[in-house]
Amino acid sequence: MNVFITGASSGLGEGLAHHYAKPGAVIGLCARRAPLLTELARAVAAKGARAIIYAVDVSDTAAMKKAADDFVAACGAVDLVIANAGIGIAHRTLEGESEPIAKLMRVNVIGVTNTVVPFVPVMVQQGSGTLVAVSSLAGHRGLPGRAAYSASKAAVITFMDALRLDLHGTNVHAMTLCPGFVHTPLTAPLSGKLPFAISCDEAVVQMTTAIALHKKTFTFPWQARILRYLLKFGSERMVRRLSPPARTAAPE
Ligand SMILES: NC(=O)c1ccc[n+]([C@@H]2O[C@H](COP(=O)([O-])OP(=O)(O)OC[C@H]3O[C@@H](n4cnc5c(N)ncnc54)[C@H](OP(=O)(O)O)[C@@H]3O)[C@@H](O)[C@H]2O)c1
């Protein structure tokens, strides 16, 4: 199986790379931190798969197109693309700072389209393949302290929904994964207890199962599916009460 994964240098992306590293597979590992990708490539190779490293910023449209072209040239058929790279930011809207929000949108929204779209004609020509974007439970409703993050993840869900309609009849599937809280470096700085948080390994099992089953928009774990319903249809008062802690410091 030939798989291209963004955000492969840590957390969910790294876990997904380990999962798909089987003998004969080719795994494209994309993120900015090359040393971490090199270390992961060694682990992938030790499992009998071939790793190709792309130390690229997903918000760079030209560089992502080049990476996709290179991956297609290296492995011929592409079975699976996972646009997983994403960031969270401190809540700055009340202070009037828009640049961190623009940066988040470039990574979380444009980064996803930069990842997925170059592979669309390739898969359509193949007549097979799965395109996956990683959104979030937060994409189902705007949450306090997460205006930009929620909006970016909602954009991802909507984009992939529309792409799936566009792909109708091509045998290429587009889908979205919406995790609740998962213990990864992304959530490590969040203060307080994270409701219904699961381990990274458990999340990878749920994500890869949903991918194999060609789900459309899959929210997990099951408690997050109940929260999704409550968030979607609940009052603003209820949303304020249900919302988990937000970031208090910028991630980088
Ligand atoms: N953990 C959770 O609770 C949770 C919940 C809902 C949704 N999610 C989503 O799941 C995805 C993975 O998150 P995670 O928890 O695994 O976080 P993580 O451990 O912080 O991993 C994020 C990955 O994204 C990469 N990345 C960030 N900015 C990038 C850029 N500009 N270009 C290329 N790569 C970039 C990082 O690599 P480099 O820094 O090396 O570039 C890293 O590999 C994200 O989209 C996140 O929003 C996570």
Q: Quote the CA–CA distance of 207 and 245 in Å, as a whole number.
A: 24
User: Vertex 251, ends 249 and 252: CA angle to 5°?
Assistant: 115
Residue 31 in this model has a pLDDT that exceeds 90: yes
> Quick check: is 98 in a domain?
yes
Question: What percent of the chain has a predicted confidence (pLDDT) above 70?
Answer: 96
Q: How many domains does the chain have?
A: 1
| Helix (H), strand (E) at residue 54 | strand 50-55
Under the banding of pLDDT at 50, 70 and 90, the label for residue 191 is low
> What is the reported pTM?
0.96
> Quick check: is 252 in a domain?
no
> Quick check: is 249 in a domain?
no
Could you read off the pLDDT of 192-228 as tens digits, one per residue? 678 899 999 999 999 999 999 999 999 999 999 999 9
> Quick check: is 251 in a domain?
no
> Quick check: is 247 in a domain?
no
Atom index in ligand 1 nearest the CA of residue 194 equals: 3
15 lines ligand 1 (CB under 6 A): no
Under the banding of pLDDT at 50, 70 and 90, the label for residue 247 is low
Q: Hey, which residues does 6 pair with through a beta bridge?
A: 30
Residue 169's Cβ-side half-sphere holds a number of Cα atoms within 13 Å equal to 1
Residue 252 in this model has a pLDDT that exceeds 60: no
> Quick check: is 62 in a domain?
yes
Q: Residue 27 in contact with residue 45, Cβ under 8 Å?
A: no
Pick the catalytic residue: 20, 54, 149, 229? Answer: 149
Sorted by sequence, the CB contacts under 8 Å of residue 107 that are 6+ apart come out as 58, 59, 85, 86, 87
Handedness of CA 167, 62, 66, 63 (dihedral sign): negative
Nearest to 69 by CA among 118, 123, 29: 118
Residue 95 in this model has a pLDDT that exceeds 90: no
Under the banding of pLDDT at 50, 70 and 90, the label for residue 248 is low
Beta-strand (E) ranges in 7-49?
26-31
Residue 138 in this model has a pLDDT that exceeds 90: yes
Q: Which amino acid is at 78?
A: V
CATH number for the domain spanning 155: value is: 3.40.50.720
Write down the pLDDT at residue 94. 84
Q: Which long-range contacts (CB under 8 A, 24 or more apart) does 230-239 make?
A: 231/137, 231/140, 231/141, 231/143, 232/140, 232/141, 239/141, 239/143, 239/144
> Quick check: is 250 in a domain?
no
Could you read off the pLDDT of 34-69 as tens digits, one per residue? 999 999 999 999 999 999 999 999 999 999 999 999
Residues in the chain: 252
Write down the pLDDT at residue 250. 45
Q: Quote the CA–CA distance of 168 and 164 in Å, as a whole number.
A: 6
208 lines ligand 1 (CB under 6 A): no
pLDDT, the chain, mean: 94
Task: Determine which of 54-68, 136-150, 183-197 has the lowest per-residue pLDDT on average.
Answer: 183-197
Higher pLDDT, 187 or 14: 14
Could you read off the pLDDT of 167-182 as tens digits, one per residue? 999 999 999 999 999 9
Active site residue 149: yes
User: Domain span at residue 37?
Assistant: 2-242
Nearest to 67 by CA among 37, 102, 39, 42: 37
User: Vertex 211, ends 41 and 51: CA angle to 5°?
Assistant: 15
Sorted by sequence, the CB contacts under 8 Å of residue 240 that are 6+ apart come out as 144
Question: Residue 86 Cα, ligand 1 centroid: separation in angstroms?
Answer: 4
Question: Residue 6 Cα, ligand 1 centroid: separation in angstroms?
Answer: 8
Question: Residue 84 Cα, ligand 1 centroid: separation in angstroms?
Answer: 6
> Quick check: is 16 in a domain?
yes
Write the DSSP assignment of 64-109 as a string of letters: HHHHHHHHHHHHSS--EEEE---------GGGT--HHHHHHHIIII
